[in-house]
Amino acid sequence: MSDQNHTDPPSDFALRVRALETLLSERGLVDPAALDELIDIAEARIGPRTGAKIVARAWADPDYKRRLLENAQEVTEELVDITGANVIVLENTPDVHNVIVCTLCSCYPFRLLGMSPGWYKSYAYRSRVVREPRKVLAEFGLTVPTSTEVRVWDSNAELRYLVLPMRPEGTEGMAETDLEKLVTRNSMIGTGRPLTPGEVGAT
């Protein structure tokens, strides 16, 4: 279930999109540079770095974390406009592990996390994570202790969820900008964990 599939050939859909982009560019209807800029905004600037900023601030500032858990909509809008969908932040703890899904389609907080990964939209993930969440998480390389309750939250058109992962050990005293680098997209979905400082240094 891992999304580490960059060696796979492009899907038929991806090939059709690429062909359409090429055709529109050749006819002068689309500026390739402008298109690249839009993709960069969606993938890198809007998210998942926006979500990472929120998580890092919550790790570093207890009052911000309290406000975030009490009224995520108001707090997240301090960084990005998420008009149209209510947002709830779910805190992972040693006792509870949260994971999000959209069982009907692929509702996803893209303004916080960037473009949704292909596996999130797949029928396999949408159907299986509800029935057998521990097994699905294990396929992502995430083993949740049996003593920890796994809660699956179903997003919809009016409601989006963001997982607040547990802060990695050994990060006391780190600046927020450095904490942001530890936050992964999957850790904010609940299918992964944040990086450790050592893992960031190794990348």
Take residue 197 and report the two structure tokens written for it.
């400082």
- Per-residue pLDDT averaged across 163-186, rounded? 96
For every residue of 42-89, DSSP letters joined together read IIIISSSHHHHHHHHHHHH-HHHHHHHHH-HHHHHTTTS--TTSEEEE
Across residues 113-126, what is the average pLDDT? 91
Which pLDDT value is given to residue 27?
80
- Which whole number is the average pLDDT over 60-71? 96
At residue 9 the predicted structure's pLDDT band, cuts being 50, 70 and 90, is very low
Catalytic residue among 2, 11, 25, 102: 102
Active site residue 106: yes
**Does the active-site annotation cover 102?**
yes
Mean local confidence (pLDDT), 98-125? 91
Q: Please compute the mean of the pLDDT values over residues 26-41 and round it to a whole number.
A: 69
Q: Annotated catalytic residue: which of 2, 11, 105, 127?
A: 105
Residue 10, classed as helix, strand or coil, is coil
Least confident span in 59-63, 108-112, 148-152: 108-112
DSSP letters, 147-185, are: TSEEEEEE-BTTEEEEEEPPPPTT-TT--HHHHHTT--H
At residue 203 the predicted structure's pLDDT band, cuts being 50, 70 and 90, is very low
User: What does the pLDDT read at residue 158?
Assistant: 87
Active-site residue 11, yes or no? no
**Higher-scoring residue by pLDDT: 63, 158:** 63
Q: Cβ(54)–Cβ(76) under 8 Å? A: yes
pLDDT digits 0-9 by tens, 79-111: 777 666 789 999 999 999 999 999 998 898 888
Q: What is the mean pLDDT of the chain?
A: 85
Q: Which of 45-54, 124-133, 135-144, 193-202 shows the lowest mean pLDDT across its residues? A: 45-54
Which among 25, 106, 116, 122 is annotated as catalytic?
A: 106
**Does residue 65 surpass a pLDDT of 90?**
yes
Cross-strand pairs, 164 = 91
